Amino acid sequence: MTLEAAAAAQRVEGVKRVHNHLMVELPPGDYRDDAQLTTAANNALTWAVTVPAGVEGTARDGNLTLSGTVHFGSQRTAAETAVGGLIGIRNVKDEIAIDFGADPGDVTVGVQDALDRNALIVDDSDVAVDTNENTVTLTGHVRTWAEHDAALDAAWMASGVYDVIDNLVVTG
């Protein structure tokens, strides 16, 4: 539920970044103890084919902490998504590490190639990709939220990306 609220806030015009500090108060019937939450989370992580082995969840007082190591930012996001809708979880804290030392030039080329392959982004787009270590910053203008989301997805899918800073402006 908190993930959906953060996603909705991010779609508001002018919002650049969302820091989600929401906590969910559970009805008595949705309460699960920490052992049940940990088991449910680890089952969900195991069943999610886009989450690599070694990513684990540990619950404490209804708050779930994810840990482990992945190679791509998209795998980290997939882990959050896999557990985000579980009944009884109040909040998800992501402590997953990305273990992939990327060459900034390779990351920039990978993101630009992904943007070029994406049919939603027009050839004359002014979307610029800047890479500092494993962080990609996207700037420029896109026409629609679909183009915006496609550009972000392309950045996250590039090998070695740890974080994506969204400075894109939706103009249409």
Mean pLDDT of 161-168: 85
**What pLDDT, in 10s, does the model give residues 70-126?**
887 788 889 999 998 888 887 888 899 877 665 666 666 766 676 666 555 655 667
The Cα 153–Cα 147 span in angstroms is 10
Query: What is the reported pLDDT for 60?
Result: 92
Query: What is the reported pLDDT for 47?
Result: 95
CA angle, residues 93, 99, 104, in degrees to nearest 5: 110
- Coil, helix or strand for 5? helix
Task: Enumerate domains of the chain plus CATH numbers.
Answer: 2-98 (3.30.1340.30), 104-170 (3.30.1340)
User: Confidence class of residue 58 from pLDDT cuts 50, 70 and 90?
Assistant: very high
Do 92 and 104 touch, CB atoms closer than 8 A? no
Q: Look up residue 142 and give its two tokens.
A: 């896109």
Please give the mean pLDDT across all residues of the chain: 80
Query: What is the reported pLDDT for 120?
Result: 57
Query: What is the reported pLDDT for 55?
Result: 96
Q: pTM for this structure? A: 0.56
User: Confidence class of residue 154 from pLDDT cuts 50, 70 and 90?
Assistant: confident
